[in-house]
Structure 1
């Protein structure tokens, strides 16, 4: 068996983690000739779930195309062939080369467009005119005239961003058949945003950070439940919680428990998320076919994590949350007067954990200059004292300023 990195952790199902799941397991694909004889369509071996009130059937593993897909088409082809046909991109990813790469793929294989569920985001749009511009650009880049799921707010952080004007824009875009479904993404003040979406009445889908750390929090669980009851389709991102390392012997024993089952820590992380059937899919950034193939095994195999697995993971997640930025920016903002601390943390995570320096730079430079300048030398000890996860904020912000300024 491959010697997987035991220092990478796996996450647990939270208080609402279900004992059983309701997703459908498809059989292995039939022989093509046999399908043609019976007039049947080959079904994907990838597990699928319904995305909330949309009724859309989505694969439980969604490749995150955060990279330059113009020069790297391998994961697009592999995922299309293997049934992981829910692709997540954004107007701003890789300077537009994520969407351009998808367009290049459809130029070569136009027959696959209707089989692929495309989700993209209005990166940086602050009004409806900006959304119009980005949507039209996405059409041109991706060689398509419609988007399956359009996240009209990329990185929502405040409930008041859900305006009447936004609702009107979403309704019009649907009526004009430019988009099928409308939603938002959020990784800052997630709970407040989820409750606001649940109350809005017009948000179809939400992509939010959700991992073995966040799923232990009661406040997060209640927000997820509110969104789920409102029929909102939920997609998990930041699933790997990559800046969380295993340091203690107990943690290593748990990781070994999964390795002995023939499961990588990454596969266990995905399975833990999907044990919560309120989430339809786990979006994971994958640049190589090898990485995609390993993650794909998590949704091809019907093996589930045991109650004991979940219990142990939950205990360890709660005991070892120090150092993880949960995006609860209202706490550090109030203590420091700087509302962009979590954005800087996210940028640093893109750089250090994802190896995405360009994306990290773009994220960091979206922060207004006056606030960015504080990161290099200001004292954030008050924010550190307020932080529930004891993050060394001053040190990390200084590093972000050094690497990304």
Structure 2
């Protein structure tokens, strides 16, 4: 019998999550593109109780214990956004790099169609320093795709050391807060997590 080992394609962590991210909201969501208010899906049942909420640090904001991760084709699966709200999931996470902006665009089309839901959502987006370019025009492009004037939380995406949060970046974040573009500022990391968290704990 011949071996199939050579035929098995390798899949990295990011590709795996791209393929499975939508599964947390139910695989049956994946084929649906639109949602009509008041029209229950015959494919997905509403839970008896909404997802519980927790205080988000010292911000005074309550966010759902589960988040809606945006690393999937939101443009063609916007029913997932409706079900998230039905289930009380108000923490929506996306990024400039998710689908090259298509994730943000999908959420933006939702807000354009249902603008009253924007205040129900704790909206998060991210920019990576490694891509290069000034953050201000890139953030403006994110907001345009998201069809909103601000995000509740802005992350510097995928830092490798707490030193990546230099004085210039902190000053920029403060200016964006004053301009009303972002409410809260933070970072995400896929490496040196312990070092980054310890460093963040020592920040003023």
1:103 aligns with 2:83: no
Q: Which runs of no fewer than 5 residues in structure 2 stay unpaired?
A: 1-48
1:187 alignment counterpart:
190
1:145 aligns with 2:149: yes
For residues 104 and 130 of structure 2, what CA distance do their matches in structure 1 show?
16
1:198 alignment counterpart:
201
- Determine which structure has greater relative contact order: mean sequence separation of CA pairs < 8 Å that are 6+ residues apart, divided by chain length: 1
1:74 to 65, 76, 79: 79
2:138 alignment counterpart:
134
* 1:334-377 CA distance string (max 9 Å, x none): xxxxxxxxxxxxxxxxxxxxxxxxxxxxxxxxxxxxxxxxxxxx
1:177 alignment counterpart:
180
For residues 190 and 171 of structure 1, what CA distance do their matches in structure 2 show?
24
1:214 alignment counterpart:
none
* 1:277-306 CA distance string (max 9 Å, x none): xxxxxxxxxxxxxxxxxxxxxxxxxxxxxx
2:171 alignment counterpart:
168
Indicate the RMSD between aligned Cα atoms, in angstroms: 1.5
Q: Which runs of no fewer than 5 residues in structure 1 stay unpaired?
A: 1-43, 202-405
Question: Cα offset for 1:164?
Answer: 0.7
Question: Cα offset for 1:68?
Answer: 1.8
For residues 134 and 68 of structure 1, what CA distance do their matches in structure 2 show?
21
1:157 to 120, 142, 160: 160
1:93 aligns with 2:114: no
For residues 60 and 53 of structure 2, what CA distance do their matches in structure 1 show?
12
| Contact 1:89 1:120 (8 Å CA) reproduced | yes
2:119 alignment counterpart:
114
2:35 alignment counterpart:
none
For residues 95 and 86 of structure 1, what CA distance do their matches in structure 2 show?
21
Task: Find the residue that maps to 1:91 and give its secondary structure.
Answer: coil
Question: Cα offset for 1:126?
Answer: 6.1
Structure 1 segments (4+ residues) deviating >6 Å: none
| Contact 1:162 1:200 (8 Å CA) reproduced | no
For residues 125 and 177 of structure 1, what CA distance do their matches in structure 2 show?
25
For residues 124 and 190 of structure 1, what CA distance do their matches in structure 2 show?
17
1:53 alignment counterpart:
58
Question: Cα offset for 1:159?
Answer: 2.2
| Contact 1:125 1:131 (8 Å CA) reproduced | no
For residues 202 and 178 of structure 2, what CA distance do their matches in structure 1 show?
22
For residues 54 and 195 of structure 1, what CA distance do their matches in structure 2 show?
20
Bigger strand share: 2
